[in-house]
Amino acid sequence: MADGFGARDGPIPYAARHLADLIVRGSLAPNDPKTLAAWARVLGRSRGSLRGCCEAAKVRPRAALDLARVLRLVRLRPERPGWSLSDFLDVSDDRSVRRLLRRGGLDATSASSLTIGELVHRQTYIVRKLVLDELASLLD
């Protein structure tokens, strides 16, 4: 556990922390980062560098991108009541939204009402505990 000053009970999982930071930053993008290349541009990185960060944390790059996109949905939703999930995504139809959510073990009904904390715990895009713990600590 962090004590607010960076001290922890154990060693710092740098790769997991770095990837969690990239996911959070991707979720703050003004536009939907639909592809790895678009996500890399938002982060000011190359696609290869982004892939390397994901691999170091033992997470598939597409899974990390999908989580960043859905986290972005959950963050934006309260700011725009009455909008549908597809309004926040660069998709051509609702089937694409359903596929994105299904890849993470979610559905449109649950995703439209999840809190950020619930999303982190219920999604299945990323199951590596180190990454999820770091992500949760950044989002608290």
Q: Which residues contact 45 (CB under 8 A, 6 or more apart)?
A: none
Average pLDDT over residues 70-97: 83
Contact 102, 114 (CB under 8 A): no
CA distance 81 to 118: 19
Highest mean pLDDT among 1-5, 10-14, 41-45: 41-45
Q: Which of 55-59, 87-91, 122-126 has the lowest mean pLDDT?
A: 87-91
Tokens of 5: 């000053």
CA-based R_g, the chain, Å: 15
Tell me the percentage of the chain whose pLDDT exceeds 90. Answer: 70
pTM of the model: 0.89
pLDDT at 38: 97
